[in-house]
Amino acid sequence: MPQEYENFDNENLGKNERYCASCGNPIQKKDIFCPYCGTKQYSQQTVYPYPPKERVIYVLLALFLGCFGVHNFYAGHTNTGIKQLLITLLLGWLFGIGALITFIWAIVDIIQVTHDGNGVPFT
């Protein structure tokens, strides 16, 4: 009975399998990196080495301050944030075209980015 309860939502998985947190493919429990997409896996028992960032804050920063890469600095994607900041500052004087580019970039970030720079998923 306790063993069945433990696997109640994994009926299609073998005993030593679980789903990849990123792509959803079944992988071995002992796998640290998903063989399909390469994403680092954390078991439920694992304490994240860094506290997870909040997605709500990430989205708000991207919407209001995304032109300056602030959302990427928040999430630990520092290199991307620096690129966005530079594009906005360097091209910003040409009819605001730099800010337009980085604003669209920030929207793409909102849609695509689900993990912070340490590979910890947003909450």
Quickly list DSSP for 40-90.
Answer: BP--TTPPPSSPPPPHHHHHHHHHHHGGGTHHHHHHT-HHHHHHHHHHHHH
Near Zn ion by CB under 5 A: residue from 20, 59, 99, 120: 20
Neighbouring CB atoms inside 10 A of 42's CB total: 15
> Is 32 a binder of Zn ion (CB under 5 A)?
no
Which of 19, 36, 103, 122 contacts Zn ion by CB under 5 A? 36
- Asked if 23 interacts with Zn ion (CB under 5 A), we say yes
Element (H, E) at 2: helix 2-6
Which x/- pattern, by CB under 5 A, does the window 47-76 give for Zn ion? ------------------------------
Contact residues for 109 (Cβ-Cβ < 8 A; gap 6+): 62, 66, 71, 72, 80
* 37 belongs to the binding site for Zn ion (CB under 5 A): yes
Smallest gap from residue 58 Cβ to Zn ion (A):
21
13, 17, 22, 118: residue in contact with Zn ion (rule CB under 5 A)? 22
Residues 113, 77: contact at Cβ < 8 Å?
yes
Q: Which one of 5-13, 39-47, 66-74, 104-112 is the stretch in contact with Zn ion (CB under 5 A)?
A: 39-47
Residue 69: CB atoms within 10 Å: 27
| Nearer CB in complex with Zn ion: 39/118 | 39
Question: Residue numbers of the site for Zn ion (CB under 5 A)?
Answer: 20, 22-23, 34, 36-37, 39
